[in-house]
């Protein structure tokens, strides 16, 4: 269930920094509380097609935009694994580091991925509008070496995946650009038929 103190119409859209400080760090047993129900658990994002994920109705907008957050026990690979679900996530762009208090030590990382359909012969096709941001704790940081995450295995990786589909029509930039995280400024025009065309071709239809 969602946190009862959240007002009607509340939309869950935290920044990467908020995910690290208020979800991943408490998840590792390092203090703080996690609001139940805001990040989905028990879903293997990496083995499902994005359209099959359980997105909340509140996280859907016009022009095909949708997003969701999922706790995970493993990180994504660098490139496509052996095709199985008809597509896979491929990493792009540089890795971003999040620093702890004082800015001396990296406490978490963020990586970005694009979803690609795969052909029947295993060849990787062009990227779709689906994107994923992976936030994970740096377990080598001194702050986390003595973490006791409760029932989870000591070697578990603390990860949140944000899976989202970009709108087909670019959105206007915010009036105050400093208030938005630079990683979220990825809007561009795409052919609205691209996802469906690539899906049919990958399935041999």
- Residue 53 belongs to a domain: yes
- Residue 4 belongs to a domain: no
Query: Mean pLDDT: which of 12-16, 59-63, 99-103, 143-147 is highest?
Result: 12-16
Q: Considering only residues 84 and 182, tell me which one the structure prediction assigns the higher pLDDT.
A: 84
Give the three-state DSSP class for 15: coil
- Residue 8 belongs to a domain: no
- Residue 149 belongs to a domain: yes
Q: Is the distance from CB of 194 to CB of 202 less than 8 angstroms?
A: no
Give the three-state DSSP class for 160: strand
CATH number, domain with residue 42: 2.170.150.80
- Residue 10 belongs to a domain: no
pLDDT of residue 199: 55
pTM of this prediction exceeds 0.75? no
Q: What mean pLDDT is predicted for residues 4-12? A: 61
Count how many domains the chain has. 1
Could you report the per-residue pLDDT of 21-48, keeping only the tens digit for each?
888 888 777 767 776 668 888 888 888 8
| Structural domain containing residue 164 | 16-169+176-202
pLDDT value at 132 more than 90:
yes
pLDDT of residue 178: 43
- Residue 195 belongs to a domain: yes
- Residue 2 belongs to a domain: no
- Residue 30 belongs to a domain: yes
The count of other CB atoms within 10 Å of the CB of residue 68 is: 21
CA-to-CA dists, residue 166 to 63, 93, 115, 137, angstroms: 8, 17, 12, 26
């Amino acid at each position: 269930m969602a946190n009862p103190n959240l007002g009607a119409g509340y939309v869950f859209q935290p920044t990467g920094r908020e995910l690290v400080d208020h979800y991943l760090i408490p998840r590792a047993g390092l203090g703080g509380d996690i609001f139940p129900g805001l990040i989905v658990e028990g879903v293997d994002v990496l083995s499902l097609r994005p359209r099959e994920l359980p997105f909340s109705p509140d996280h859907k907008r016009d022009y095909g935009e949708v997003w969701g957050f999922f706790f995970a026990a493993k990180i994504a690979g660098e490139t496509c694994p052996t095709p199985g679900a008809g597509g896979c996530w491929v990493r792009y762009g540089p890795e971003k580091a999040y620093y702890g208090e004082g800015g001396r030590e990296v406490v978490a990382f963020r990586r970005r991925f694009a979803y690609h359909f795969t052909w029947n012969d295993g060849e990787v096709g062009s990227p779709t509008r689906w994107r994923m941001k992976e936030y994970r704790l740096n377990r080598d940081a001194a702050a986390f070496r003595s973490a006791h995450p409760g029932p989870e295995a000591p070697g578990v990786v603390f990860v949140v995946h944000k899976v989202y589909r970009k709108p087909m029509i670019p959105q206007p930039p915010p009036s105050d650009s400093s208030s938005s995280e630079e990683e979220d400024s990825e809007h561009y025009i795409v052919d609205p038929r691209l996802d469906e065309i690539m899906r049919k071709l990958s399935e041999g239809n």
